Amino acid sequence: MMKSSISSYKKLMEKAKNLFILESAAAIVHWDMETKMPPKAIRLRSLQLAMLSRIGHKMSTDPEIGKFLEEIMRHPEYDRLDTVQKRNVYLIKKNYDEQTKLPEELVAETAKQQAITVDTWKKAKAAKDFSMFKPELEKLVDLRKKAAEILMEVKKTATPYDALIDIFEPKMTAEAISRVFAELREGLISLIRKCKTAPKQPDTSFLKRRVPIDTQRRFAESLTEFIGYDIKSKEAGGRLDETEHPFTTGYYDDVRITTHYYEDKFDSFIFSTLHEGGHAIYEQNLNPEWIFQPVGTGCSSGFHESQSRFVENIIGRSREFWIYFLPKLKELTGGILSDVDLDRFVHSVNHVKPSKIRIEADEVTYCLHIIIRFNLERDLFADKITVTELPQIWNQSYKEYLGVSIENDSEGVMQDTHWASGLYGYFPSYALGNIYSGQILAKMKKDLPDWRRQLSKGNFHSIKQWLAKNVHSYGDLYNPADLIKKIVGEEINVKPYLNYLYEKCSKLYDF
């Protein structure tokens, strides 16, 4: 393998590096806005973010990038570039083509409409009034349809909606997702029925006991330490802060997470800290040689979610995790949980209960919330349904899939920020992540047959090493369909995830 003698490649990578540096700066400004900023700074912070975004757009559509790409791809030595170099060229070209084909006017108008729609959404949600939200949502959907039609040409996808999915899950299609989700839906609905009718039901009332926030903070620190996400040492590359909605941001040596503490809902921070921690260790385990290169990022939104859900659910809601951690939690909380035994604790944090709100959903019902959203998006972008019809179909689906009645649109179609923010095509990646996590678990079990025993002794190290080697270190070297094949030896498959859930629930619910 040669390190390219194509001088344009070196110049192209220099441009990519500058863009990564700029974007990482924007991410920290955004993090500051969400966590530490004094209230009065909002105007300045917005100006800073808008300017960084403008500079970023200018840099990524710089005509010199197009010139370098052409020189590289036409170069007689192009074939001698190695796999990583070729992937870098591919990813830069993909981004450049997409960004330059979208008219600047459309990009600007969409950004403006997004801000208006989010603002209107907040008011309409508070007023429980969809009719207030509807006209602005219609405008935003129309703008995204226009973009999707342009992107469809550039990406050569079969439908406009596929072009949007591709932003988050490259090369995935609505047709493939529909197939996978149909099987997932069937499996989940039958599992929910089994849990519901099982004789053994958990008494979850202790989860409402008040645990002081300071105690929760201390426990959160021990969780980050456990998963090897360093927020304390002199070498630390992480931070844990507090926001209303937990998130992860950052790049390589500076990856930050947030969580939220509720005094009367102490399990909330446990799973959100583990979830964001799962995202963070993915970022930190990327190949260090690939920093500032397009390959040095996570593979897709779905893969990112597979890693956060793996740590949150497969690890954090396992019996073995709590064999190790429950005594520690009890000690830290004084007498608050002294009467709660391991069985009751583990069953309660795995309680299967259909609900109205996605972000409060348990592991088994969660994907049904996603499938409902995916069906609506797919049909909306195929012009089979209209924005006006969304609430009614939403409510019907919730009744049919989850057996719950939606009382008003704030707890229904207006509950998430995604559609107000113009994020269409994003929802499926949440469920795809869960499906990947099941396949990844099945493979890990073969390589690390005693992972559960190790976990019960407080050892997460070998699991983390396995994930780093088999998932994280690939970065964005492959598209998700190829990466899952590379890791587990087969295409996307719902069965391992359903088996994992079935096995867990049958033990907890005794069926």
Binding-site ranges for Zn ion (CB under 5 A): 308
For the annotated catalytic residues, the residue numbers are 276
Residue 495 CB: number of other CB atoms within 10 A? 16
Unique residue bearing structure tokens 């980050």: 224
Residue 135 CB: number of other CB atoms within 10 A? 11
- For residue 250, the minimal CB distance to Zn ion (Å) is 14
> How many angstroms separate the CA atoms of 4 and 450, rounded?
44
CA 465 to chain centre: 21
- For residue 85, the minimal CB distance to Zn ion (Å) is 31
Q: Which residues, other chains included, contact 239 with Cβ-Cβ below 8 Å and sequence gap of 6+?
A: 231, 256, 257
Strand partners, 259: 242
Strand partners, 251: 254
Note whether 273 and 257 are within 8 A (CB): yes
- Residue 241: phi, psi to the nearest 5? -125, -175
Taking CA atoms, 28 is separated from 21, 182, 283, in Å, by 11, 40, 15
CA distance between the termini of the chain: 57
Torsion of CA 361, 231, 326, 279, to 10 degrees: 30
Q: Which residue, 124, 151, 154, 158, is CA-closest to 138?
A: 124
C-beta closer to Zn ion: residue 271 or 398: 271
Q: Which residue, 146, 142, 164, 145, is CA-closest to 155?
A: 164
Q: What is the CA radius of gyration of the chain?
A: 23
The edge-to-edge listing of strands for the beta sheet with 248-251 is 238-242, 254-259, 248-251
Q: Which residue, 152, 464, 441, is CA-closest to 280?
A: 464
